[in-house]
Each structure stands twice: as structure tokens, then as C-alpha cells.
Amino acid sequence: MKSLIRNIPTKPGIYLFFDKNKKLVYVGKATSLKSRVRSYFAGQKSPRPIESLIDEVKNIKWIVTDSVLEAIILEANYIKKYQPKCNILGKDDKSWNYLAITKREFPTLKAIRQHDLKQLSLAEQKKKFLNVFGPFPGLNTQAILKLLRKLFAYSSCSPTQARACFYYQLEQCLGVCTNEITSKEYSKKVVRPLTLFFKGNKKQLIKDLEKQMKSVSKDENYEEAQRLRDQISDLKKIHDVALLNKNFYTDIVTLRFTQHPNAVSGAEPKCDNIKRIEGYDISNLNTTDKVGSMVVFINGEAETSEYRKFKIQTVIGQSDVDCLKEILTRRLKHAEWSLPQLFLIDGGKPQVNAVKEILTLNKIEIPVIGIAKGPSRKKNEFLAPKILAKWLTQNKNLLIQVRDEAHRFAIKYNRELRKIKVTNKSFL
């Protein structure tokens, strides 16, 4: 099994577990397929049904997707089609969400819980909905509805309302509220593309949109051609890390704060499974040359192939806090980058709080530790959650190493940029 796991890519997608009879027993989604699958075979245990049956898994397959959103949809399609026993066991009706296209003149998209869906007969469902997609375990429904509105401009307004809706101002409504689009056109531009996407036919959808774009360009309808071009571009580069709620991240992040079976109430939870640490630093030599660094340590070793550097783009003046917010926001847009079990920040309380703020906005629950210089500048002060107190005592030297490496990498990048700037000036 270990040799098979080595071949799994670190990309988003779904993974499929099969038993000795070649029957699919579990399907799951991940931002990093390799990290997620590897965590099942690392000796960790949790109450989830698949954990108790992991010894029955005899083969693993996987399907890479372009984005987390497509992994979510593909997982839902597999659960619905194959009903794997470990996906079905122990699921509360309230924990399963569906997305439905309503049946009305200008259909909209809405979230519905499985419990509520079960209250409707099949005839009632057909009367209310054109299509129902799901189930979607661990889904941040508000985030997915927001993203799908940006991608497909589905309407939630009425053609009889007095003024243009809020989303029309954002160019996320095609003009249902302003009578700029007919029901037939809406079906072609919104309902069909949305349905194709939910059925996992993104390639066919893009092909159709490209064909439409050429057709309207030939008719000199350049405004519609531009809309289609932008939609195609957005479909090809979906930024969707915020789609996943804390339950999903609990599923993919291998750090778990679980009580030891023999521990008394109130004892400190175990947290000895921090494998991946990301360290961040800002190099800020003046108001114009500002950069950020991200270094990665896995199992205590630097993973230089996963280092990333950021040239600050939006911050005016010197503000490490705002610079950290920018680079964390940009980092979290990359669903193809594995998430860490710990964020380490070179800085004190303001910097740590800035990172927590960005994680909260993205509905991600991963602990953050800051290393600040004490008043004498000779002693490191660690700002960490109480739950990590014991782990921190044992790993201070590693964290200092990560902090120093992030500092070195940031300064190196800053010097590279300044050298390029000086070289360019010398040729003027």
C-alpha cells in the first residue's frame, strides 16, 4: 500500500477505497490527495466509520480535479451513484446538504438539508425542483452558492421588482430584475451551464461556451462575447479554498486534538501529529521594497520545493500586519497547495491575530503560533494556544529553525529584487 500511496499526486480530487471484492467502500475528497490518503495509514484513529474498516481496504484509486469545487461535486456524484457503506454509516440527516435548481420562470439555486428533502414526496420534489444535486458532506453552502453565483450569474430576484437587484450591480445577475433577459435565454445562459457543471461535464461546458463566444463575436455582439470569455476564464481557474467548512478541514488535516482513552477529564489532549508546518515572515527594508516568504517543514525537515515568495502588491507604507494578511489571503487561494497542521509567524500578538482573522474569514481552523522578541531582544517569546503547551515545550528548537529559515528566505528575495532594480537603473 505504501508504494501505491507514493504515486498519489498532491493535487485536489477524490480518492476511492476498495475492499478485497473490488467493491467501493468509501469515497472522499481532498485538497491534497497524497496527504489525505497517507493520513489513514499513519496509525491515527477517529470515530469515523472508515477508520474502523481501514484494514479492509485492499486497493486505492483516485481522480484528480482542477479545483476543490469539482472534487466536492464529483464526490457527491459517486456517493449518490454507488452508496459506499462507509459514507452512509453514521450520517445524521442534518449533516448532509443538497443543492437544488428551483422550478420557476427564472430558476434559482438553493441549499436544502437532506432532512428537509426527505419531508417531500418524490412528486413534490419534481414539482418544486428541476434538479437536485448531492449529497455534499462537509460543505460550506453559503460559500459555494456565492462562488456559483459568480460563475453562472444565477438569479434570485424577480422580473416584477421595482429596481435592479444588488447582484445586477456586481454583474452577477444577467438582468432578470431589469427585464433584459427572457426565460428562454436564461435557461440557455444559466440553467444548462449550471446543470452541466454539476454533472461533472466542465470540459464539455467550456467547449460549448467557446463555441457560443465565436458565434456572438461573428455577429459583432462583443459585450456578450466578453462575458463568455470571462466566464470561461473563471471556470478554468476556480479559487475555492473557502468552500470547505471546518468539518471538511478536520477531515483533511491530520492534526486532531483527541482525548487519550485513559486520560481523566480535563487532561491535555494529544497533539503529537503535527507533520507539516508553514512559516511566514515579512522583509520590509523600506516603504517600497516589501516581500513575504512562506517556508515549509515536513516531519522536521525543510521542504524547499514547496517554498513560496510573495511580492507585496496592495500595502502602502510599512505594516507587517497588513502584509501578512495579503500573503495569507493569496496563499489560501491555492487549493492545490497542501494545508499545514500549524502556521508559524515571525511576530507578536498583532501578527498572530492578523493571521487568525484571515483563517476565520476562510472558515479554516488551524492553530497559529507566533515567535516575538522579548523586551531585551535576546529572548524568544512564544504565543501559542494552551492546547499546544506540551508540544511547544518539546519543539521550541524546531519552531525557531522554521522562523529563522522564513526570515532568511524573505531577506534573500528582498535582496534579489533590489539587485534587479539597481541593475536596471545602471542601464538607463
Instruction: Give me the chain's average pLDDT, please.
Output: 82
Q: Please report the pLDDT score of residue 336 as a whole number.
A: 65
Better-scored residue on pLDDT, 255 or 112: 112
Residue 228 has pLDDT above 90, yes or no: yes
How sure is the predictor about 382, in pLDDT bands with cuts at 50, 70 and 90?
Answer: very high
Q: Please report the pLDDT score of residue 264 as a whole number.
A: 30
Spatial separation of the C-alpha atoms in residues 411 and 282, rounded to whole Å: 8
Share of the chain above pLDDT 90, in %: 42
Task: Tell me if residue 254 falls in helix, strand or coil.
Answer: coil
How sure is the predictor about 164, in pLDDT bands with cuts at 50, 70 and 90?
Answer: very high
Q: Could you tell me where the DSSP H helices lie in 92-243?
A: 114-118, 122-128, 141-152, 166-169, 183-186, 192-198, 202-218, 222-236
**What is the arithmetic mean of pLDDT over 65-87?**
87
Q: Please report the pLDDT score of residue 92 as a whole number.
A: 45
Q: Please report the pLDDT score of residue 184 as a whole number.
A: 95
CATH label, 276-426, candidates 3.90.120.10, 3.60.20.10, 1.10.1040.10, 3.30.420.340: 3.30.420.340
Q: Please report the pLDDT score of residue 357 as a whole number.
A: 92
Residue 410 has pLDDT above 70, yes or no: yes
Spatial separation of the C-alpha atoms in residues 83 and 412, rounded to whole Å: 52
Residues 247-256: tens digit of each pLDDT = 333 332 322 2
Q: Are strands 342-346 and 380-383 parallel, antiparallel or unpaired?
A: unpaired
Q: Long-range contacts for 395-403 (Cβ within 8 Å, ≥24 apart)?
A: 395/274, 398/277, 398/297, 398/300, 399/277, 399/344, 399/369, 399/371, 400/371, 401/297, 402/277, 402/279, 402/295, 402/297, 402/344, 403/279, 403/281, 403/344, 403/346, 403/371
Q: Please report the pLDDT score of residue 317 as a whole number.
A: 78
CATH superfamily placement of domain 2-88: GIY-YIG endonuclease (3.40.1440.10)
Better-scored residue on pLDDT, 157 or 237: 157
Residue 262 has pLDDT above 60, yes or no: no
Spatial separation of the C-alpha atoms in residues 121 and 117, rounded to whole Å: 8
pTM metric for this prediction: 0.51
Q: Decide: 76 and 135 in contact? Cβ < 8 Å.
A: yes
Residue 205 burial by Cβ neighbours in a 10 Å radius (0-12, 13-18, 19+): buried
Residues 297-324: tens digit of each pLDDT = 988 889 888 899 999 888 887 788 999 9
Q: Please report the pLDDT score of residue 426 as a whole number.
A: 46
CATH 3.30.420.340 positions along the chain are 276-426
Q: Please report the pLDDT score of residue 267 as a whole number.
A: 31
CATH 3.40.1440.10 positions along the chain are 2-88
How sure is the predictor about 43, in pLDDT bands with cuts at 50, 70 and 90?
Answer: low
DSSP symbols for 173-202? S-STTTT-S-HHHHIIIIIHHHHHHHTT-H
Omega before residue 135 within 30° of 0, cis:
yes
